[in-house]
Structure 1
């Protein structure tokens, strides 16, 4: 029995014989679970999809999909390849955007990854000004997970990361502070406590609270106050989410309280649909800003970085 190929052999095979369409078929086949549906989605003949899968399995000397009557299921090897395939396809899309923008506008491309707090505290209400001042620069913005805000560094998909100041700055990157922030108690303008100047912990313990994800700074603060004040379990709303639009909708009903970074609720507070309560629960947070590689940044990235710092 021949030994399994090592990593160097597999890498050389992929470099010499691997194709982008291999990665595309892998991704879509895992998503759709069917050779037929994948062929339809990619506007290919089904035998062509089958042939591409066979080519990949031959290159890697391993089975990538289990075939069954209902379609296919990925093997563990296919699951291992999936994040790599996503990165390759994302890089190609970014490259196409950058080249197309350079050919048509000559302005360059800036890829932004932003936490929900930074979206509210740094970018909300400012992008129109940038678009008018720098119409030839293309800006692509994606929302980062609050649990992995620096993912754009590890996978190379971001030029600027708008986030809270990290305790440790990644090697080669620098952090620019932009906005001070704090955890605050908020509610809808029709909530019974909205008109109370400085509600006590006892008063706040009569309300129903929206829950943040376990491990978040807001959830940790809630749990600390919950224990200290001796609130009953009934104060917890059992809908746990981290989608600002849905949080705002719940708050505007006038039935809920929440602990949030002021930056997340900044636009709601400005529009008057949500109120900030003066409370002993409120506590400072690390400031918001952006990470970037200033010494390596191109013109477009430097322009956007300066714009954020000025704003």
Structure 2
């Protein structure tokens, strides 16, 4: 009979050590018990024994053994991301302890969507660092799906995002900064000089493809459907700001985007806004945070961001 998840978890908690996970991850990376042993400072028999133990705990094979090394089973390939996240979290925890012991400084963990980073944090965090040099800010940039995971797993103290439809019990959301949808192009795009454009005037233009999970992409698809149009796309879907900038500067392309996402490039004159008069509304950026259990550093940063956003919208 296949053991339940509760039974497997109890076995791991009773018999497994972090060395078991480290050995598994190392063999998955190097494809060889000997190379894995060299990488983590153990002997080859010790690494082999650790993986055999883990297979016994889980009651499933994790590797196919062959003359040239060890190859992951399908089960191991799907298990690997969970193990890697566990080890990475443990490493981050030890870094936190070492930092606090050596410096006495406080740490606040911040997650932020792309618009919050480019629209606010690139301006606010340098000033915060000068004002509060005793607080270390650990920033993770995340998309909507990644943000949900960071919140659910309590991996951040503050999450800068748009208001989610639901969030875990004990969290609260407060609006921080207004935002809007804009059409952006390179400074030399011929439409930059035109005034009073409407979205219907732009349907036949070439557009830079947006990620399908973003609010802007969903809005763009709805607009195209409303006008019975089929978008002409430059088919390169990226999350890299540098790549988006390069595409818009080098080609005659447009993109529909939150102003916050491109604000840094617009302020520097690297990109330009089109004068489009009928843009749809966009929810503001805000801060999602634990209601009662925030540390002092998180409270200090949260208060600072609200004051900064009020003075520098």
Q: TM-score with structure 1 length normalisation?
A: 0.89
Task: Figure out how many residues of one structure are paired with residues of the other and give that number.
Answer: 308
Structure 1 equivalent of residue 253 of structure 2: 256
2:155 aligns with one of 154, 157, 175: 157
The offset of 1:85, in angstroms, is: 1.9
In structure 2, how many angstroms separate the alpha carbons of the residues matched to 1:216 and 1:192?
Answer: 27
The offset of 1:265, in angstroms, is: 0.5
Q: Residues 14-40 of structure 1: CA distance to partner in whole angstroms, max 9, x if unpaired?
A: 223211121122223333433344334
The offset of 1:177, in angstroms, is: 1.2
Q: 2:252 aligned with 1:237, yes or no?
A: no
Structure 1 equivalent of residue 135 of structure 2: 137
Q: Is the 8 A contact 1:185 1:281 kept in 2?
A: no
In structure 2, how many angstroms separate the alpha carbons of the residues matched to 1:120 and 1:248?
Answer: 13
**Superposed counterparts of 1:199-238, under 5 Å:** 199-201=197-199, 203-231=201-229, 235-238=232-235
Structure 2 equivalent of residue 62 of structure 1: 60
Q: Pick the structure with more helix per residue.
A: 2
In structure 1, how many angstroms separate the alpha carbons of the residues matched to 2:270 and 2:246?
Answer: 10
Unpaired runs of 5+ residues, structure 1, are none
Q: 2:176 aligned with 1:193, yes or no?
A: no
Q: Residues 197-247 of structure 1: CA distance to partner in whole angstroms, max 9, x if unpaired?
A: 2234464234310011224221222223334445555x2111122222211
In structure 2, how many angstroms separate the alpha carbons of the residues matched to 1:63 and 1:280?
Answer: 61
The offset of 1:146, in angstroms, is: 3.2
Q: Is the 8 A contact 2:199 2:279 kept in 1?
A: no
The offset of 1:52, in angstroms, is: 1.5
Structure 2 equivalent of residue 299 of structure 1: 296
Structure 2 equivalent of residue 310 of structure 1: 307
Q: Is the 8 A contact 2:152 2:168 kept in 1?
A: no
RMSD of aligned Cα (Å): 2.3
In structure 2, how many angstroms separate the alpha carbons of the residues matched to 1:302 and 1:100?
Answer: 23
Structure 1 equivalent of residue 311 of structure 2: none
In structure 2, how many angstroms separate the alpha carbons of the residues matched to 1:206 and 1:60?
Answer: 56
In structure 2, how many angstroms separate the alpha carbons of the residues matched to 1:53 and 1:271?
Answer: 54
SS at match of 2:160: strand
SS at match of 1:149: helix
